[in-house]
Structure 1
Amino acid sequence: MNLNWKPISMALIVVGLSGCASMSSEECMTSDWAAIGYEDGARGYTTDQITNRRKACAKHGVTVDFAAYQSGREQGLVEYCQPGRGFSVGSNGGRYNGVCRVDLEQDFLEAYNAGYHLYTLRSNVNRASSAINSKEHEIDNIKEEMRLKEAALISDETTTEDRVLLLVDLKDLSERIGQLEAEIQELYEQRAFSQAELDNYQVALLDAGY
């Protein structure tokens, strides 16, 4: 498969631990370490997870069954290191911890990179939409501010000096609206381009079997 994305390096940053490594004395003594290892492996966790658990249990004078944990984790990693999971992790913007065996990693990374590129293209579209909404909201606020200043401008209570200042403010606000409208137009063009990229890539993914 030859999809056009920038590959993610195998030496990716390791994510922080998602599970809670703090354990009570009872948990340390009664835990099924093989099952815990399997769960950690199936989630793509690094060995930092068991390191923290070992430290927590050591405080209670309990030694973790590392062999059982490692055996379970290796089985869990086989489940995690599948192309389907790699694509899912990547398309949701997740990070790969570099935990897969060499014989599984190539296919996993290929799928992960495909998914992550999809995530990037979707993010480009969403980011443009968010920026458009933000600037349109700013325009609405400016128009309301201008309405209030225009009302003050024609008020009998407004002094000549204040009217001059209000006219300056209204001119500045009007120019700001013009600037925002130009930026919004550019963002619409960017979003259209990003959407076209996304649409084309989704077709390529379907052709590639994703």
Structure 2
Amino acid sequence: MNKEECQLADWSAVGYKHGAQGQAATTFNQYQADCADHSIKADYAAFKRGHQQGLDDYCVYETGLNNGSAGNNYNGNCPSRRYPDFAEGYHEGLGRFCTYESGYDQGARGQGANRNCAEQDYPEYSQGLVSGQAKYEVIRAVHALEDELISLEQDLQRQDEFIADSEAVIVSKESTSDDRVKALLDIKNHRDERKRIKREYRRVEAELADLQMRLSEM
């Protein structure tokens, strides 16, 4: 806050704004420090009254339900003894969130468990998470094999280029007998290497097909 804002502040309204957003009253500390720099005292009593009114409007059943349904942490600024409706809504919302489907979706995206969905309270969520994580690992393996196939294809292309270069040496009028002998040996070596790469390509291709089939069944 600048000096003018500190002089004109409606501290009750400022407190209400933070309370209505579910924020703690400790947000006042920064205002207090800002205004102290201008030798102006921020009114904590007014801020606190407004903040409490804001919390009363925030800590209701609907807000708790929305927070729980999003899997968010419980807002400790809404203690259950003072705001039982908020707590009820939160736990109902959490029950909607902590399902097998939600756990599966998170696991399939490579995410860890939401700590609000404790296994002892929501075993279905944990089961979904494990299944989703298994799918995620298969997806990762599929991508790795796809990348490997691309690399092998590039290796095959390089071998074909090496062979073409050696064949060009053989037919060139400028090549010596030794050049042609060496080129023939190079061709043999590159063709052998090409066969090895092709075998590896078929192995990876078959492994990829198996994983893709497995993935389609998950």
Worse-superposed segment, 142-151 or 77-86: 142-151
What amino acid sits opposite 1:99 in the alignment?
N
Q: Counterpart of 1:64?
A: 42
Q: Distance in 2 between matches of 1:51 and 1:180?
A: 61
Instruction: Tell me what 1:83 maps to.
Output: 61
Residue matched to 1:37: 15
The two structures, once aligned, show a CA RMSD in angstroms of 3.6
Give the corresponding residue for 1:151: 157
Partner of 1:96: 74
Are the equivalent residues in 1 in contact too, given 2:61–2:90 (CA < 8 A)?
yes
Counting only pairs closer than 5 Å after superposition, residues 1-210 of structure 1 correspond to structure 2 as 23-121=1-99, 122=102, 124-129=104-109, 131=136, 136-155=142-161, 156-157=163-164, 159=186, 167=196, 171=200, 174-175=203-204, 178=207, 182=211, 185=214, 189=218
Shift of 1:83: 1.3
- CA-CA distance at 1:32 after TM superposition: 1.4
* Aligned amino acid, residue 100 of structure 1: C
The structure with the largest alpha-carbon Rg is 2
In structure 2, do the counterparts of structure 1 residues 134 and 25 end up closer, same or farther at CA, with 3 Å as the change threshold? farther
Whole-Å separation in 1 of the counterparts to 2:103 and 2:53: 34
Q: Distance in 1 between matches of 2:6 and 2:209?
A: 59
Deviation per CA, 1:15-58: give whole Å up to 9, x if none. Answer: xxxxxxxx222222212111111111111111221122212221
Scaled by the length of structure 2, what TM-score is found?
0.59
Give the superposition deviation at 1:186: 6.2
CA contact (8 A) 1:135 1:180 kept: no
- Bigger drift between 77-86 and 157-166 goes to 157-166
Shift of 1:68: 1.1
Alpha-carbon distance between aligned partners in 2 of 1:187 and 1:133, rounded to the nearest angstrom: 11
SS at match of 2:84: helix
Distance 1:83 1:183, change over 3 A: farther
How far has the Cα of 1:135 moved from its partner? 5.3
| Gap regions ≥5 residues in structure 1 | 1-22, 190-210
Q: Which runs of 5+ in 2 are unaligned?
A: 111-135, 167-185
The Cα of 1:108 is off from its aligned counterpart by 1.6
Contact 1:81 1:108 survives alignment (8 Å): yes
State the identity %.
24
- Cα gap change, 1:149 to 1:34, in 2 (>3 Å): same
Distance change (3 Å), C-alpha of 1:161 and 1:115: farther
Cα offset, 1:136, TM superposition? 4.9
Q: Which has the higher contact order (CA 8 A, sep 6+)?
A: 1
